Structure 1
Amino acid sequence: MLAIHETALRDAMNTLPSISTRVRTVASLPRLFGDALLKKYVADAPALYVVPGRITFADGNATLEFTVAGVVRNSAGHEKARNGDGIDLGCDHLMLMALVALDGKRLGNCTWTAISAEMADDELFEKAGISAIEVKFVGTALAIPTALDDAAFDELDDFMRLHADIDLQPQASASTHAQWLQEPPDYSGGQPDAQLDIQLPGASNP
């Protein structure tokens, strides 16, 4: 469910000419952390990253949320990082590109609507010389499957433990979510509202 729509959103942005000719990187959020992630942001900018978000369930339906995180260099200052300087793209440009590519479009099995956008206020970003904006999209409801194809689980024999950090609002930034994914997790940027840890049958305690 998540993978199909993450790919659909990413592909829609990659195929928009105004993005493919002006944005260096359109990708899923890199599986890097700390300084390595910041260096990746700097190297990739201007960049648009697709980040899976909250899933809500009601009346037999699932509603997906995704964030598109736009990253630009801000060496000329925060105002030009937001608005551009006539040469380089600003966060405002990346937000508009994401809206044109995704808002109101049928992608995957959903039609997507932009619901909010917010500049990422992160001291680490400032020190690294980058600025970021997060644009959130929600998809139309999907029917929750009532049956499973056992063949889909053939590659999951080694999956014995599920851990989830839950951001109920959500209030934390995409960069904070990335910190939670580290091993071990880094909660210095904020604590999750709740945590889920499930040991599946046959698993041994970590």
Structure 2
Amino acid sequence: PFPAFSFCIDTDGNYWFYSGNNKTLNPDKLKKFDASMKPLDQRLPADETILPWGFDNLKKNGAITTFVEGFNDTVYQINNGEIAKAYAIDFKDLALDKSAFPTDPMDLIPFLRSKHYASIKNYLENDKYAYFQIVESSPSDPKSMGIYHWIFDKAANKNLLIKQDNEMNPLTYLNAPQILTADNQLYFLGYLPDSDLAAQDNNPSIVSIDLSKINFN
């Protein structure tokens, strides 16, 4: 047994576990087991130069299983028991050069705070839509991250980019997307403003957004 920040069962019945960047726990961050918990594969060697962070980054959305790592511009899908690149986003001047990370992990936080960069925090997909939660960090105000919700209608080849209000409660549901269902419901988990609550004890709340009702024009 070992700790994991995220796990899922793919459509072939394989178990995938993400243990984060902690070499003292596991030399590799992503592990695959069969239904009897027999080890089948391991990927993504832990990096000693990065702090031992973990992310909730394995998501199963119907038949599509998605994976993304923090501070990255590439997202992945797991199909037929294999993981493969799905999309890469060109952030241009906001791309984070991971090869420039300091060799001492304790220097990483100051390094990141000194950079103006964007990365993918969450990625969900079903047959009709792909959803990306993008985080932009600026050295002018490291505590105020820009959060964007990018929705792509694959059939219509249309996309919509929505910037989240920076004044929102840090615990807002918009910060925590959970799943995109086969019927195009995008679910979030978090806090609603008091004005939207039927009762004060309803927080945290589960909120769904029907992507099929969004106007992309």
| TM-score normalised over the length of structure 1 | 0.29
The structure whose RCO (Cα within 8 Å, separation 6+) is larger is 1
- Structure showing the higher strand proportion among its residues: 2
